[in-house]
């Protein structure tokens, strides 16, 4: 499989060792680009003159290797040849929507899927009555709103106008809205009311308003990615998730803020606020999705996570978020940050709402090749005592800010009859391979870096994308591949945990990064408040494609507590 290497000047070079050597040379050339002037318009021939043996020696320190003088002399022409290839590659426009030909597979060897798919059944709900003041619906869960809409006690038009009004009233305070999709929303709501009146009820999201993180394309509206270089960008398509929610009859009312290019809570229009404490940002990058949901501006929202972007803002704002298994939800029409780590999921008021939205958005779209078909047999009535539930004992035993709330969470589950099993994550250097995300993100926004338009970004600190993109140009290709080989080992080790669900402090140890790298699903939900009255959270983790059991356990805990029923007082 390694027989072909290169054909140049009539010479064919073969052999596995030669292949490995030139991969290293390619990595070295990437490093050397830092030493080549980036003057606009300079030809590959002009730039190649800047590559010298002395600069090779300087580049070696960046990657932690050392070559001899003769080895530098031998590789010089290869690096020049590679540079010509890079320049040719850069002449081909490759938009953010084009993925690499290499697809990440989170499935361990021997993994077995459940094969039988059953019809989705939500839990039974009390029959809610129409309130005299519709503002009382602002914090009602989707499950109850759906019953009001289904029985026509409240129309979709009424709900849509209610949430549009709240978005207009409170959106500027929270800085959580980029674009209202009012015209689209009112037309969708009108159609929903007509269909429901005619007996054509599509399901629990029919007629229910929602918001979407502004990295999801929507026809006729800007898709800004939260970043100044893209603030006027219009993508002439609906993202797959938007299409699926349209098919479910849901009503898009707003495109919500995100940290610029999916990092943090700072976007080109300001800083999204935590509705519990307006002096504090909402965290990110699904900043607006969590803030708007928690403040009752939308019944639910769509967020994304690569490394904490659902977990973190849901924690800060007191929302309930689901990060599904990698490969469960199509990313077609969504901004790519890290092709092997990006995941799309709902941010809601309740665990059950997350299940309802996930049921609507999961599944193949015929375009995203990373999607893996697997059943989602959610059953809120399962006996969770029969599941094997673990907890990361070492992390829970540490001294940290939310420890008292987390200990109370474990005790509550024990009180529900769960026999919690202490477990530990694989003892492998997970933090050392976090640059997988940086390397992929730098590729996703390669043109932004090369054109210098990254200077338009609001955040220009060391700990911000412009600097990370530039620094990531010096990550050797070999090390990126080696990191993914270690990732493979971690995936195999995770299969040995032997539990259906496990609990972790939301930001404890390596759990958040590790499970984003392996693709495991999680539910983050409020489990109390800190001494300042702001929400705290705990994270329930699930097996790959084990969202059904994961959500059932998290729901049982949530129903037994009630922290999700408390809302930020300024927005009631």
Longest dimension (CA), the chain: 85
Confidence at residue 49, expressed as pLDDT on a 0 to 100 scale: 83
Question: How many Å apart are CA 42 and CA 44, to the nearest integer?
Answer: 7
Domains and CATH numbers, the chain: 1-92 (no CATH), 138-429+486-571 (3.90.1300.10)
Active site members: 213, 285, 309
- Per the prediction, the chain carries an average pLDDT of 93
Question: How many Å apart are CA 155 and CA 380, to the nearest integer?
Answer: 28
Listed in order, strand segments (DSSP E) in 330-371 are 343-348
Confidence at residue 48, expressed as pLDDT on a 0 to 100 scale: 80
Q: Give every CB contact of residue 288 below 8 A, 6+ residues apart in sequence.
A: 174, 176, 177, 178, 211, 213, 214, 256, 257, 258, 272, 282, 301
Residue 472 half-sphere exposure, CB side, CA atoms within 13 Å? Answer: 26
Confidence at residue 476, expressed as pLDDT on a 0 to 100 scale: 97
Q: How many CB atoms lie within 10 A of CB 88?
A: 10
Q: Which of 166, 144, 406 is nearest to 294 (CA)?
A: 166
The DSSP line for 336-347 is -S-TTT-EEEEE
Listed in order, strand segments (DSSP E) in 231-336 are 251-256, 266-267, 270-271, 273-274, 277-281, 301-305, 320-323
For residues 160 and 141, is the Cβ–Cβ distance under 8 A?
no
Token pair of 221, please?
């509206």
For residues 256 and 347, is the Cβ–Cβ distance under 8 A?
no
Is 0.95 topped by the overall pTM?
A: no
The answer, yes or no, to whether residue 190 has pLDDT greater than 90, is: yes
Query: Residue 541 forms beta bridges with which residues?
Result: 502, 522
SS3 letters for 155-188? CHHHHHHHHHHHHHHHHHHHCCEEEECHHHHHHH
Confidence at residue 45, expressed as pLDDT on a 0 to 100 scale: 78
Q: Give every CB contact of residue 325 below 8 A, 6+ residues apart in sequence.
A: 106, 343, 372, 374, 519, 520, 521, 542, 544, 545, 546, 547
The answer, yes or no, to whether residue 24 has pLDDT greater than 80, is: no
The answer, yes or no, to whether residue 351 has pLDDT greater than 80, is: yes
Q: How many CB atoms lie within 10 A of CB 512?
A: 24
| Stretch among 40-44, 397-401, 415-419 having the lowest mean pLDDT | 40-44
Q: What is the rounded average pLDDT of the residues 367-395?
A: 97
Question: How many Å apart are CA 259 and CA 271, to the nearest integer?
Answer: 8
For residues 134 and 140, is the Cβ–Cβ distance under 8 A?
no
For residue 41, name the pLDDT band (cuts at 50, 70, 90).
Answer: low
For residues 211 and 272, is the Cβ–Cβ distance under 8 A?
no
Question: How many Å apart are CA 546 and CA 281, to the nearest integer?
Answer: 32
Confidence at residue 21, expressed as pLDDT on a 0 to 100 scale: 42
Per-residue pLDDT tens over the stretch 134-172: 999 999 999 999 999 999 999 999 999 999 999 999 999
Per-residue pLDDT tens over the stretch 435-481: 999 999 999 999 999 999 999 999 999 999 999 999 999 999 999 99
Query: Residue 384 forms beta bridges with which residues?
Result: none
Q: How far is CA 180 from CA 140, 160, 211, 251, 279, in A?
A: 21, 12, 9, 12, 24
Q: Give every CB contact of residue 569 below 8 A, 6+ residues apart in sequence.
A: none
The answer, yes or no, to whether residue 22 has pLDDT greater than 80, is: no
Token pair of 337, please?
């940050």
Confidence at residue 461, expressed as pLDDT on a 0 to 100 scale: 96
Q: What is the CA radius of gyration of the chain?
A: 25
Residue 428's φ and ψ, nearest 5 degrees, are: -130, 155
- Alpha carbon 286 to its chain centroid, in Å, reads 8
Prior bond to 16 cis, omega within 30? Answer: no
Confidence at residue 37, expressed as pLDDT on a 0 to 100 scale: 42
Q: What percent of the chain has pLDDT over 70?
A: 92
The answer, yes or no, to whether residue 250 has pLDDT greater than 60, is: yes
For residue 406, what is the DSSP state?
Answer: H
């Amino acid at each position: 499989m390694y027989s072909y290497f290169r054909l140049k000047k009539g010479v064919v070079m073969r052999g596995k060792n030669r292949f490995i050597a030139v991969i290293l040379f390619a990595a070295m050339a990437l490093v050397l680009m830092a030493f080549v002037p980036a003057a606009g318009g300079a030809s590959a021939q002009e730039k190649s003159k800047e590559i010298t043996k002395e600069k090779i020696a300087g580049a070696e320190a960046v990657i932690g290797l050392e070559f001899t003088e003769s080895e530098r002399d031998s590789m010089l022409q290869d690096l020049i040849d590679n540079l010509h290839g890079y320049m040719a590659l850069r002449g081909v426009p490759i938009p953010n929507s084009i993925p690499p030909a290499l697809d990440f597979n989170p499935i361990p060897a021997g993994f077995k899927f459940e094969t039988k798919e059953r019809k989705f059944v939500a839990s039974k709900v009390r029959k809610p009555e129409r309130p005299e003041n519709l503002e009382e619906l602002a914090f009602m869960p989707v499950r109850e709103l759906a019953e009001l809409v289904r029985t026509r006690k409240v129309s979709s038009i009424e709900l849509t106008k209610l949430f549009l009004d709240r978005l207009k009233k409170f959106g500027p305070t929270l800085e959580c809205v980029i674009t209202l999709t009012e015209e689209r929303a009112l037309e969708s709501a009108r159609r929903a009311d007509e269909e429901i009146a005619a007996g054509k009820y599509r399901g629990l999201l029919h007629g229910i308003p929602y918001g979407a993180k502004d990295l999801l394309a929507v026809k006729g509206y800007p898709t800004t990615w939260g970043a100044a270089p893209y603030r006027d960008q219009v993508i002439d398509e609906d993202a797959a998730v938007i299409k699926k929610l349209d098919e479910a009859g849901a009503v898009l009312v707003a495109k919500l803020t995100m940290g610029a290019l999916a990092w943090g809570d700072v976007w080109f229009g300001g800083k999204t606020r935590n509705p519990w404490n307006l002096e504090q940002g909402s965290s990110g990058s699904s900043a607006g999705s969590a803030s708007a949901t928690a403040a009752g501006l939308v019944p639910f929202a769509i967020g994304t996570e690569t490394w904490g972007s659902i977990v973190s803002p849901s924690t800060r704002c007191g929302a309930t978020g689901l990060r599904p298994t990698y490969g469960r939800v199509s990313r077609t029409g969504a901004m790519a940050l890290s092709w092997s780590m990006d995941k799309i999921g709902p941010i809601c008021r309740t665990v059950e709402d997350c299940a309802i939205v996930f049921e609507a958005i999961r599944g193949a779209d015929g375009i995203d090749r990373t999607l893996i078909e697997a059943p989602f047999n959610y059953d809120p009535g399962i006996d969770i005592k029969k599941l094997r539930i673990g907890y990361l004992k070492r992390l829970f035993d540490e001294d940290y800010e939310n420890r008292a709330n987390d200990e109370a969470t474990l005790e509550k589950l024990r009180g529900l009859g769960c026999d919690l099993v202490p477990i530990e994550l694989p003892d492998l250097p997970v933090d050392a391979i976090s640059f997988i995300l940086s390397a992929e993100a730098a590729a996703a926004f390669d043109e932004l870096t090369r054109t210098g338009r990254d200077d338009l970004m609001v955040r220009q600190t060391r700990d911000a994308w412009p600097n990370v993109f530039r620094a990531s140009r010096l990550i050797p290709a070999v090390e990126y591949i080696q990191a993914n080989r270690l990732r493979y080992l971690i995936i195999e080790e995770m299969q040995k945990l032997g539990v259906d669900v496990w609990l972790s402090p939301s930001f404890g140890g390596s759990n958040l990064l590790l499970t984003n790298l392996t693709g495991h699903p999680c539910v983050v939900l409020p489990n109390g408040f800190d001494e300042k009255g702001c929400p705290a959270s705990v994270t329930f983790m699930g097996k790959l494609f084990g969202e059904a059991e994961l959500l059932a356990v998290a729901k049982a805990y949530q129903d037994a507590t009630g922290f999700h029923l408390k809302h930020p007082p300024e927005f009631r």
